[in-house]
Structure 1
Amino acid sequence: MYPMKLKPVYDKTIWANDRLTTMRGMEEKGMGTCWEISAHPHAKNVILNGEYAGKTLDELIQADPQSILGEKQLHQMLRLAYLDAREDLSIQVHPYDEYARAHENDEGKTESWYILEADKGATLVAGTTASDAAVIKAAVENDQVEDYVRKVEVEAGDFVCINAGMLHALGKGILALEIGQNSNTTYRFYDYHRKDANGRERELHIDKSFDVADFGLHCNKVATPFTDADTTQEKLLVDRREFSVRLVDVAGSYVLPQDEKRFYCLSNVSADCVLRYQGEELPFAFTENIFVPAGCADIEICGKARVLVSFVR
């Protein structure tokens, strides 16, 4: 096995910016979501390099789960995607595992966001200022939802973890990498009364939102300012049952240890570098994400770059 580059899957959205596609030299506009690593039915990424080029990651998992996932199961697979927001995303909530499996034939969705770029003063929603569901229900009935959301100002390098059940929304002017569970289930709670291309407001999912929401949940950001250190620095950003994310500021080299028990997802969030493995080199460009199967030999990241290492412990 070897580190795999995957073909991104882009989704047009009503709130999209063009930061990511511009960075990548693309002419396409309005691509708000870009699925980078996924084996979810909504977006099955195709492998671009090596022996398995042309196959989907999902096909590889089905054919040889041990070599791809190690000791992990398909429901523990991670999903990585970029969110590129010109306008605020809807205020929304994701279900936890049991509810999603019972009602949506999907996994729950705890997720995290790493902020690549943010306009000055940009904010995201992470929880509410009232924990009483009756208060929030009255706010919905009186069209006062915006009065009860908890906003967090963010800048490049910040990281937040969004629990399933937490009301949240990415704000306008932010480009974020989303790392989370293998799910595509979202309940839209409030959408600012904006209209789609046909002049209609988008559907809300109020009943299901109240089924799964915990209005006592909120989160704080983890700041990770860039440094110019001469040695490689590591920081564990989140360590949960669902996933862990380690930030590595590579200064020269960093060896990703392998024990064949788990897969890794590598995200380059700062500058071009190179992966070395089994006597070969693989360019690893800024904004690229690479899937490392459990059966892959040790990988060395070479250069000066910030890389997020996502895995299930």
Structure 2
Amino acid sequence: MNNSTSQIIFLKPAFIRKLWGSQKLAHKFNFDLPKNTPIGEAWLVSAHPNGMMSYVLNGEYKGLSLAELFKQQPSLFANLDSSGSVINKEYPLLTKILDANDSLSVQIHPDDKFAEKNHQCLGKTECWYILECLPKGRVILGHNAKTKDQFNQWLAKEQWHKLLKYIPIKKDQFIYVPSLKIHGLLAHTMVFELQQSSDITYRLYDYDRKDELGNLRNLHLKEASTIVLAPDLNSSEANGHDNYLVDNKFFKLIKLINEGINHYSYPNTRWLQISVLDGNGIIDDTSIKKGDSFILPNGYTDFCLSGNMLLMVTYC
């Protein structure tokens, strides 16, 4: 049982309008979505500076954005080193649920080096846990070009059938998507996503869709061609083991299937963030349910779960 007096910090998600979204997250997770609006993303735990913030729902910090909390209360996140210097200037993680009612653009994200040089931000390595998909669902992951010249040739001619690599998916499958990897969710797929806190996306193809104003959305072919690897590389950097889906320098992702009453301990963590993807129950003496996301601050490394639930625990 946790001995810390620290309070569980519950967060209110941000809901993002997307051309490819729907209202499915409202009944799937009981989220209070804006009515008659295609919502594609629920940003569950977010302090991203573009304003898509999570806000504290309870306790003495109620009403603060996660970004404000992270800056004003560094002790909650053990975010000062022995000399008193800040370790992370910005909250480093971002968790979402994506409802791809229609296909997302074919895209690629920069790594830390390219993103820092060109955008002064983190790169974007991400991963998906499949919550829903079609019986014969697929996603785009990688490409078939052997050289940069071949990549650019197929890209210029929009020969997607040659260029893009598809893989089959099923419910509860995990997929790691490192930076510099071409990818895209296809229609009727819902995923939990953990990523670095970055919002830099280069689109290669967007199915010739138009935005609300009737304009084609911007593509970023030059940037994509610059950073893509050819031939494509399969990454093993997730380093998954036991119930860790990812355990690397970017983040840790733990899948917890709790049945009954169990105790958990994560020593040597600065803080934990947790999302409940299915079921309901109790953490220590606090009720939690499907759709909840919360932070266990520094010192809250041991806890007891009661109930049948699927949870994702993340930290870095």
Give the TM-score, by structure 2 length: 0.87
Q: Counterpart in 2 of 1:217? A: 233
Give the secondary structure class of the aligned counterpart of 1:178: strand
Please say if residues 80 and 180 of structure 1, whose CA atoms lie closer than 8 Å, have aligned partners that are also in contact: yes
Distance 1:297 1:113 in 2: 25
Matched position secondary structure for 1:209 = helix
Task: Work out whether 1:240 is the aligned partner of 2:245.
Answer: no
Counterparts of residues 281-296 of structure 1 (less than 5 Å): 281-296=285-300
2:206 counterpart of 1:197: no
How many angstroms does 1:76 deviate by?
6.3
Label 1:271 to 1:185 Cα distance change in 2 as closer, same or farther (>3 A): same
SS of the residue 2:306 aligns to? strand
Which amino acid counterpart does residue 158 of structure 1 have in structure 2?
A: Q
Q: Which amino acid is the alignment partner of residue 242 of structure 1?
A: F
1:297 Cα deviation from its structure 2 partner = 5.4
Among candidates 98, 107, 110, match of residue 92 of structure 1: 107
Contact 2:140-2:167 at 8 Å conserved across structures: yes
Given residue 294 of structure 2, which amino acid in structure 1 is its aligned partner?
I
Structure 2 counterpart of 1:250, from 246, 258, 283: 258
Tell me the TM-score normalised to structure 1 length.
0.88
User: Is the alpha carbon distance of 1:154 and 1:17 closer, same or farther for their aligned partners in structure 2, counting shifts above 3 Å?
Assistant: farther
Question: Which structure 1 segments of 5+ residues have no match?
Answer: 223-233
Q: CA 1:61–1:25 in 2, change beyond 3 Å: closer, same or farther?
A: closer
Percentage identity across paired residues of the two chains: 26
Aligned residue pair count: 296
Closer/same/farther in 2, CA of residues 145 and 283 from structure 1, 3 Å limit: same
Aligned to 1:274: 282
The secondary structure found in structure 2 opposite 1:290 is strand
Q: Distance in 1 between matches of 2:66 and 2:107?
A: 29
SS for the counterpart of 2:22 is coil
> Is 1:177 equivalent to 2:192 in the alignment?
yes
2:306 to 292, 302, 308: 302
Shift of 1:75: 4.8
1:158-187 CA-to-partner distances (Å, cap 9, x unmatched) read: 111100000001111111111010111111
- Tell me the secondary structure at the aligned position of residue 307 of structure 1: strand
In structure 1, what residue type is equivalent to 2:191? A
Q: Distance in 1 between matches of 2:11 and 2:91?
A: 19
2:23 to 18, 22, 25: 18
CA distance in 2, matches of 1:163, 1:260: 25
Aligned residues: CA RMSD: 2.1
Which of residues 64, 72, 76 is equivalent to 2:73? 64
Please show how residues 6-85 of structure 1 align to structure 2 within 5 Å: 6-23=11-28, 24=30, 26=32, 28=35, 29-42=37-50, 43-70=52-79, 73-75=88-90, 77-85=92-100
The reply on whether 1:188 has 2:203 as its aligned counterpart is yes
1: CA distance between counterparts of 2:244 and 2:267?
A: 19
Note closer, same or farther for the CA distance 1:251–1:218 as it changes in structure 2 (3 Å cut): same
Relative to structure 1, is the Cα distance of residues 107 and 311 closer, same or farther in structure 2, using a 3 angstrom cutoff?
same
Partner SS, residue 94 of structure 2: strand
From 9, 12, 16, the equivalent of 1:4 is 9
